[in-house]
């Protein structure tokens, strides 16, 4: 007689993910049953409330450590708590900009009726489906960072990715460019998912199990010397490196960042990296640690090429969103330095860097939404000339975020880069540290070039103006600026908090 064991779920540990998912489902019901005129108002209450309730539950779970939260498919430990908390905080910050911009309103020219009727309809018609899509993506990110078997990891990857493909194509003010970026993101994402599942199949064939502990035991038993294992590692890495935008899997990044609605670009750049890098750290630190010598050299090469490529190519960019995209590629290389360091300091510094970089990135893209002319957002750097004289506060904040990206002292970027390079040096990777420092110096050149353009170049007739930020946008950019300075001047408590929790459960 066959006996079936009833699966047990730790709902308390899983509650943050469930809260966000339930909020997303309710958001879909709002789209179906609430009048169009009221949808935006309802979403403006539902979405932040969902994220705040989930954040409070993450804080309540801060001492929870379990590897059996969902029958061995989900693990909740210190790094997961930090990642989920970071994701929710970054999402709340991104939501402030998302609620304020009109990137999702249709062009008046595309609507029927007289000119006055067109303008009236365009000003009131919003694509409010963006809010449940955002919540679905966040729930996928939270699950992706906590997955402890290959099937759950793949499902979470698709849950976080599919809404992003749709969100990237919702900028009706740049319809063709936005749709092109969404199509490119979708097609390349599909290829990367295929590589990911192909690698997962090889790892399953090698270990005879999809769970991380069983795969780890098989890797240790064979000392990492198995062709099937190596093929699985390579193909699985392709899927992970695509999500973080590392070279040579970066081709989608500049086009998608440029074409997607700017608030969505910031959300993708900040939140996706948190989820993807925590999953990467878990896999290489706790599953494939027995094959260290097989993957460390490959990822070291990828990290070096990514840092150098992103920093050098960014110099030639004349579009601010493309510049920030190549900056994001370079930062993916810096974060890979924490992965290849393969020590606790590497994990701690990566978690700090992910949050600090995410806040500065959202602040930078939030300011981009404010730089406009009569046609909408202006991302041509040549037209940013003299911005410091027109709006000193906004230009100074943007300069602060650029200096943080460059790793200038008294900013969060300096603490992040110092800690991550120290971890790599401690791990014996002096060559990576040298390339990282040189890449940071190259990156500082084009960051400072933008600052000079804003403050020390006369404006032209075709220059832009700064829209007066609403209360939400003001809170967003100033909060990002304050956190960027606070993490640079007083990082001790944050680093101590991360140090106490940054221990993977096995």
Model confidence pLDDT, tens digit, residues 58-99 = 999 988 888 888 888 899 999 999 999 999 999 999 999 888
Task: List CB contacts of 500: < 8 A, sequence separation 6 or more.
Answer: 78
Express as a percent the part of the chain with pLDDT over 90.
54
- Which three-class secondary structure state does DSSP give residue 147? strand
With 60 as the cut, is the pLDDT of residue 167 above it? yes
Q: Dihedral through CA 273, CA 274, CA 277, CA 280, nearest 10?
A: -120
By CB neighbour count within 10 A (0-12 exposed, 13-18 middle, 19+ buried), where does 345 fall?
buried
Please report which confidence band the pLDDT of residue 110 belongs to, taking 50, 70 and 90 as the band edges.
Answer: very low
Please report which confidence band the pLDDT of residue 172 belongs to, taking 50, 70 and 90 as the band edges.
Answer: low
With 80 as the cut, is the pLDDT of residue 333 above it? yes
Q: What is d(CA 487, CA 495) in angstroms, rounded to the nearest whole number?
A: 9
Give the pLDDT confidence score for residue 461 in this predicted structure. 57
Average pLDDT over residues 443-449: 89
Average pLDDT over residues 105-119: 47
The total number of residues written for the chain in this structure: 506
With 80 as the cut, is the pLDDT of residue 231 above it? yes
Give the pLDDT confidence score for residue 460 in this predicted structure. 63
* Domain regions of the chain by residue span: 11-501
Of 38-47, 112-121, 253-262, 442-451, give the lowest mean pLDDT range.
112-121
With 60 as the cut, is the pLDDT of residue 105 above it? no
- Going from the C-alpha of 287 to that of each of 77, 216, 241, the distances in angstroms are 15, 5, 17
Average pLDDT over residues 345-357: 94
Angle (deg, nearest 10), helices 36-60 and 130-146: 20
Task: List CB contacts of 336: < 8 A, sequence separation 6 or more.
Answer: 244, 246, 299, 302, 303, 306
Angle (deg, nearest 10), helices 412-426 and 430-456: 170
| Cis, peptide link before residue 248, omega less than 30° from 0 | yes
With 80 as the cut, is the pLDDT of residue 400 above it? yes
CA angle 439, 444, 446 (to 5 degrees): 105
Give the pLDDT confidence score for residue 132 in this predicted structure. 94
Average pLDDT over residues 9-34: 91
Q: What is d(CA 358, CA 279) in angstroms, rounded to the nearest whole number?
A: 17
Q: What is d(CA 101, CA 94) in angstroms, rounded to the nearest whole number?
A: 11
Query: Please, how many CA atoms are within 13 Å of residue 173, restricted to the half-sphere of its CB?
Result: 19
With 70 as the cut, is the pLDDT of residue 107 above it? no
Please report which confidence band the pLDDT of residue 101 belongs to, taking 50, 70 and 90 as the band edges.
Answer: low
- Number of helices (H), then strands (E), belonging to the chain: the values are 21, 3
Please report which confidence band the pLDDT of residue 116 belongs to, taking 50, 70 and 90 as the band edges.
Answer: very low
Please report which confidence band the pLDDT of residue 195 belongs to, taking 50, 70 and 90 as the band edges.
Answer: very high
With 50 as the cut, is the pLDDT of residue 123 above it? no
Q: What is d(CA 257, CA 324) in angstroms, rounded to the nearest whole number?
A: 8
Give the pLDDT confidence score for residue 347 in this predicted structure. 93
Task: List CB contacts of 472: < 8 A, sequence separation 6 or more.
Answer: 96, 97, 99, 100
Average pLDDT over residues 455-463: 70
With 80 as the cut, is the pLDDT of residue 155 above it? yes
Identify whether the C-beta of residue 355 lies closer than 8 Å to the C-beta of residue 86: yes
With 80 as the cut, is the pLDDT of residue 108 above it? no
Per the prediction, the chain carries an average pLDDT of 86
Please report which confidence band the pLDDT of residue 467 belongs to, taking 50, 70 and 90 as the band edges.
Answer: low
Structure tokens at 75: 């693990």
Identify whether the C-beta of residue 55 lies closer than 8 Å to the C-beta of residue 89: yes
Strand partners, 372: 377, 465
Give the pLDDT confidence score for residue 326 in this predicted structure. 93
Give the pLDDT confidence score for residue 113 in this predicted structure. 47
Identify whether the C-beta of residue 388 lies closer than 8 Å to the C-beta of residue 120: no
Strand partners, 376: 373
Express as a percent the part of the chain with pLDDT over 70.
90
Q: What is d(CA 187, CA 195) in angstroms, rounded to the nearest whole number?
A: 13
In the chain, the largest separation of any two C-alpha atoms, in whole Å, equals: 84
CA atoms 446, 415, 396, 380: torsion sign: positive
With 60 as the cut, is the pLDDT of residue 463 above it? no
Give the pLDDT confidence score for residue 464 in this predicted structure. 59
Please report which confidence band the pLDDT of residue 168 belongs to, taking 50, 70 and 90 as the band edges.
Answer: confident
Give the pLDDT confidence score for residue 499 in this predicted structure. 92
Give the pLDDT confidence score for residue 446 in this predicted structure. 85
Of 1-15, 228-242, 429-443, 484-498, give the lowest mean pLDDT range.
1-15
Average pLDDT over residues 300-317: 92
Identify whether the C-beta of residue 362 lies closer than 8 Å to the C-beta of residue 270: yes
Identify each DSSP E strand in 395-466 by its residue range: 465-466
Q: What is d(CA 12, CA 57) in angstroms, rounded to the nearest whole number?
A: 8
Strand partners, 319: 380
Give the pLDDT confidence score for residue 30 in this predicted structure. 92
Angle (deg, nearest 10), helices 130-146 and 78-98: 170
């Amino acid at each position: 007689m066959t006996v079936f064991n009833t699966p047990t779920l730790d709902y308390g540990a899983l509650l943050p993910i469930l809260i966000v998912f339930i909020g997303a489902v309710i958001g879909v019901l709002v789209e179906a049953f609430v009048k169009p005129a009221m949808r935006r108002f309802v979403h403006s209450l539902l979405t932040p409330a969902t994220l705040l309730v989930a954040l409070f539950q993450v804080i309540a779970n801060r001492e929870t450590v379990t590897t059996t939260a969902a029958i061995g498919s989900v693990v909740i430990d210190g790094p997961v708590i930090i990642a989920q908390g970071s994701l929710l905080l970054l999402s709340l910050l991104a939501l402030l900009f998302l609620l304020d911009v009109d990137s999702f309103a249709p062009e008046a020219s595309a609507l029927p009726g007289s000119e006055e009727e067109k303008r009236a309809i365009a000003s009131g018609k919003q694509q409010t489906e963006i809010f449940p899509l955002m919540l679905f993506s966040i729930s996928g990110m939270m699950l992706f960072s906590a997955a402890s078997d290959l099937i759950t990891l793949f499902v979470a990857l698709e849950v976080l990715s599919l809404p992003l493909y749709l969100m990237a194509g919702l900028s009706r003010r740049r319809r063709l460019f936005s749709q092109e970026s969404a199509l490119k993101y979708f097609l390349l994402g599909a290829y990367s998912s295929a590589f990911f599942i192909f690698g997962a199949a090889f790892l399953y064939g090698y270990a005879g199990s999809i769970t991380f502990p069983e795969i780890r035991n098989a890797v240790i038993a064979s000392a990492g010397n198995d062709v099937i294992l190596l093929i699985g590692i390579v193909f699985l890495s392709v899927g992970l490196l695509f999500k973080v935008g590392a070279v040579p899997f970066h081709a989608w990044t500049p086009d998608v960042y440029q074409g997607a609605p700017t608030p969505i670009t910031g959300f993708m750049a900040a939140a996706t990296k948190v989820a993807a890098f925590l999953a990467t750290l878990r896999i290489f630190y706790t599953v494939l640690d027995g094959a260290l010598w097989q993957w460390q050299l490959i990822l070291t090469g990828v990290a070096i090429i990514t840092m150098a490529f992103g920093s050098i190519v960014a110099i030639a960019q004349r579009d601010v969103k493309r510049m920030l995209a190549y900056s994001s590629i370079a930062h993916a290389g810096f974060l890979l330095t924490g992965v290849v360091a393969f020590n606790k300091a590497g994990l701690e510094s990566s978690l700090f860097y992910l949050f600090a970089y995410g806040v500065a990135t959202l602040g930078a893209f939030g300011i981009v939404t404010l730089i406009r002319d009569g046609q909408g957002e202006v991302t041509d750097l040549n037209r940013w000339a003299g911005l410091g004289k027109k709006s000193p506060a906004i230009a100074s904040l943007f300069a602060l975020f650029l200096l943080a990206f460059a790793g200038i002292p008294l900013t969060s970027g300096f603490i992040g880069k110092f800690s991550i390079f120290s971890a790599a040096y401690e791990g014996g990777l002096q060559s990576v540290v040298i390339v990282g420092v040189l890449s940071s110096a190259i990156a500082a050149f084009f960051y400072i070039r933008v600052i000079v353009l804003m403050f020390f170049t006369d404006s032209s007739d075709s220059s832009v103006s700064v829209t007066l930020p609403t209360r939400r946008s003001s809170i967003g950019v100033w909060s990002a600026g304050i956190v960027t300075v606070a993490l640079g001047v007083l990082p001790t408590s944050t680093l101590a908090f991360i140090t106490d929790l940054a221990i993977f459960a096995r």
